[in-house]
Amino acid sequence: MSALESRFDETIAADQRIEPRDWMPEAYRKTLIRQIAQHAHSEIIGMQPEGNWILRAPSLRRKAILLAKVQDEAGHGMYLYAAAETLGVDRAELTEMLIEGRQRYSSIFNYPTLSYADIGVIGWLVDGAAICNQVPLCRCSYGPYARAMIRVCKEESFHQRQGFELLLAMVNGTAAQREMVQESTNRWWWPSLMMFGPPDGDSPNTQQSMKWNIKRHTNDELRQRFVDMTVPQAAALGITLPDPGLVWNDERKAHDYTEPDWSEFKAVLSGSGPCNAQRVEHRKRAHDRGAWVREAATAYAQKQAARRESAA
Ligand code: 3HC
């Protein structure tokens, strides 16, 4: 084993951070590019389902909150693309891979937002699941990713709280509003469980990612944490989670729950989810429409550089 490999292994074993200037195994770098790019793509694509309701928010206050949240997601995408670029890739290249279907984004964003209650349920369940998954990533061994996560998690907490508060207002409203929240929960519960990835036995990346301290917990461990966190929140809302198998197991000191339909998960990952084509088409259209901004910014930067050079 070379001195560089030993140093990398010692750093990981000492639970220290790997920084961009440090030597790292190519497989470690590739896994990070895959996961950070997927995370960044998810943040940007994730703006679509909620953005769909900005013009239809029921009050100026709700519109302002939703606008702030969607803007936050764009910022999360930028932090994460910046973290990925420290590994030697370029966000333009990553965006191309996303649009060509060569990189993934989270399955959760392939579901439609059919009612305004979805805005609250996404904040409550989807951002709640994101927090369960992202807090351990603040301790990821790769410095730039861990530091991006610290900032993201602070904003994610606001996202989850605003969603829960919106639902609290609705469940304390009319019977029709309560029914809207229940119907939305029934649609988003199972896709939220799928956000954590396949069962541990079907996860080809978890073991190695945990050896490298990229992942701190397995998919099933984080899914369980999310279920246990959400059950009392649903009770506080007076909402029933749509799983008859959900029951407290005193032996395990955790809730037993029914596994999601993994064939649906596989179908969504292979592109057959309700909104896959629409999400990627929208992303491509936005990217094409923004080409002139990128060209102008590049031309301006080149002009500034040439000016600095001639002044030197
Ligand atoms: N959606 C899409 N693909 C998924 C997935 C999901 N929910 N879960 C797993 N996969 C893919 C993996 O990418 C992998 O495919 P690949 O090898 O071709 O990339 C395959 O399914 C097997 O899964 P593994 O468990 O082996 O893969 P990972 O070790 O990468 O674990 C993960 C999957 C838990 C999603 C992990 O990648 C992760 O923690 N990523 C960072 C968090 C993230 O991306 N969150 C996405 C949501 S963004 C968000 O929540 C925004 C918020 O504002 C709402």
When computed from its CA atoms, the radius of gyration of the chain, rounded to whole angstroms, is 21
Q: Which residues line the pocket of ligand 1, CB cutoff 6 A?
A: 34-35, 38-39, 42-43, 46, 73, 104, 106-107, 126-127, 130, 133, 194-198, 203-206, 209, 219, 269
Which residues is 18 bridged to in the sheet? Answer: 142
Token digits of residue 299: 């031309």
d(CA 255, CA 261): 18
Token digits of residue 263: 């064939």
Sign of CA dihedral 182, 188, 194, 196: negative
Residues, the chain: 312
d(CA 122, CA 108): 10
Tell the residue nearest (CA) to atom 45 of ligand 1: 39
Q: Report which residue type is found at 87.
A: L
Which of 254, 229, 227, 232 lies closest to 243, judged by CA? 227
**Coil, helix or strand at residue 142:** strand
Q: What is the pLDDT of residue 270?
A: 96
d(CA 174, CA 144): 47
Q: What is the pLDDT of residue 86?
A: 98
Give pLDDT tens digits along the chain (312 positions): 799 999 999 999 999 999 999 999 999 999 999 999 999 999 999 999 999 999 999 999 999 999 999 999 999 999 999 999 999 999 999 999 999 999 999 999 999 999 999 999 999 999 999 999 999 999 999 999 999 999 999 999 999 999 999 999 999 999 999 999 999 999 999 999 999 999 999 999 999 999 999 999 999 999 999 999 999 999 999 999 999 999 999 999 999 999 999 999 999 999 999 999 999 999 999 999 999 999 999 999 999 999 999 998
Distance of CA 88 to the CA centre of its chain: 22
Residue 197 Cα to ligand 1 midpoint, Å, equals 6
